[in-house]
Structure 1
């Protein structure tokens, strides 16, 4: 009985006023009353949390929970790309020369997603990867690579669901939703980390300071379940051969390796 209600409210709600109401509720003290049932229904791993359930004063605090320091192991090889989130890898594939990608049978424009024609050319014929976070996932975002932030910007005004139904029936959700884009320069080439909101305008909070990013270091968090799209410059990324989709992944696990351009 409760699970359909949570799915309706958290995974599918996209109306302006209903979203605002849910946002206010999740941050209110009264939301603490449903923290235990939410944890049970979504089968949250309480052993890895750095606090007990009774220590979360609101549902929002549970969503943005942090983990014990040993809960995630970051793949440290210098050329490896680590998963930035706990998520399901929904898709991985090529970005064509027209900047299009095809996800769940729908075409999305990387040009529209980035909103920056000057940066677009380096990603044409590159690789994309889509990682979907459900309400059950840990919502902190970590850097997948070592590098220097060259640019960070936000686009979009609304956020619609990016779960399977949202991707299938929504209107260009990955390219139109509110999103925060961080471009990182590595010694191999450029990687764009696109953090796509699923609900609530401005539901993405950036936490990293300065321009240097260390692989595995926290860089942002989502208020609710959402999606991260990784874009790799042409010829610099090789996905792990044993990676299939959909695939459950955790922060720090290797998803591929970086290569020198032309190697």
Structure 2
């Protein structure tokens, strides 16, 4: 297992990676997808109540505040917020697209992103396209992990027009900190959706990374992308037949169960801002960096 784990990883992390390598992760994710859409009232209400207790979740900020009013668990998990619950930092802030934890952020040095301390992976492998990787030469990135208790809709950090997108099949390993510290190239092993946007400040890629128990990835322009969790070569690059313009702060997609978003920006598009730290919690609308 040594070639499948990173140097310096803890024994617990190595064992967790080893367990995932033998688990039927796609089958388990399909099962979770089915269970989270069960509409039988005793089951779905019991599951939601257990989740709320386990993760200390409040529904006070949600549009739907009564457990009984959700049609199934996934409707609760991807619940909308009340208008105004997430104030957007004023321009020129480049805002967080999600509630979560910034696991890594910084410049793309030699086309490499940081996965964990001392360990890197290639932006070309993440995006699955050489030309797209060249677009972001000398740019910056931010990786944001969504915990189960987080709000799970994904929004635009800056206004933009969708240039193209593609689905890239892959595995469904956990993307939590333990796995990220131990498994090489984690985010390029997992299935993901890559969306390339043009903004008035430069190009931006948003990568929605699938994970263990993530029952589905959706976008506002294509609807459900997964399941099915496919195998094989990356899907085609799709150019939208009609323009897709999304405002700053507008929803662009969602995770049906939690995962990770990686945002990549072109060279000279953003600059660091005070108060943003790795491993720090962040909420939708708060600044990740500043637009140049």
Q: Which moved more, 1:152-161 or 1:14-23?
A: 14-23
Contact 2:45 2:67 (8 Å CA) reproduced? no
Larger mean CA deviation between 61-70 and 165-174 belongs to 165-174
- For residues 22-73 of structure 1, the C-alpha deviation after alignment (integer angstroms, 9 at most, x for no partner) is 2221211323322112012111121001112221232211111111112111
Supply the distance in 1 between the matched residues of 2:291 and 2:219 (Cα, whole angstroms). Answer: 25
- The alignment status of 1:104 with 2:116, answered yes or no, reads yes
Between the two proteins, the alignment pairs up a number of residues equal to 247
Aligned to 1:15: 25
Matches within 5 A, 1:113-262: 113-199=126-212, 203-208=216-221, 210-259=243-292
Taking the aligned partners of 1:243 and 1:201, their CA distance within structure 2 comes to 27
- Aligned Cα root-mean-square deviation (Å): 2.0
Are the equivalent residues in 1 in contact too, given 2:93–2:289 (CA < 8 A)?
yes
Measure how far apart 1:143 and its partner are: 0.5
Could you tell me how far apart the structure 2 residues matched to 1:102 and 1:76 are? 28
Asked if 1 retains the 8 angstrom alpha-carbon contact of 2:33 and 2:215, the reply is: no
Task: Judge conservation of contact 1:162–1:227 (CA < 8 Å) in 2.
Answer: yes
Q: Report deviation, 1:200.
A: 5.2
Structure 1 distance, partners of 2:52, 2:126, is: 33
Contact 1:158 1:200 in 2 (8 A): no
Instruction: Please give the secondary structure, in 1, of the residue aligned with 2:34.
Output: helix
Alignment correspondent of 2:85: 71
SS of residue matched to 2:181: helix
The aligned counterpart of 2:35 is 25
Q: 1:244 Cα deviation (Å)? A: 1.1
Unmatched segments (≥5 aa) in structure 1: 1-7
Relative to structure 1, the CA distance from residue 131 to residue 96 in structure 2 (aligned partners, 3 Å threshold; closer, same or farther) is same
What TM-score do you get using the length of structure 1 for normalisation?
0.87
Structure 2 residue corresponding to 1:42, chosen from 49, 55, 58: 55
Q: Name structure 2 gaps, 5 residues minimum.
A: 1-15, 223-242
Provide Cα deviations, 1:71-107, integer angstroms capped at 9, x if missing partner. Answer: 1112241x3211100010111122122x222221332
TM-score (norm 2): 0.79
Residues 32 and 202 of structure 1: is their aligned pair in 2 closer, same or farther, counting only changes over 3 Å?
Answer: closer
Match of 1:5 in 2: none
Q: Distance in 2 between matches of 1:177 and 1:21?
A: 18
Judged with a 3 Å threshold, the aligned counterparts in structure 2 of structure 1 residues 95 and 14 are, in CA distance, closer, same or farther, namely farther
Matches of 1:23 and 1:213 in 2, distance apart?
28
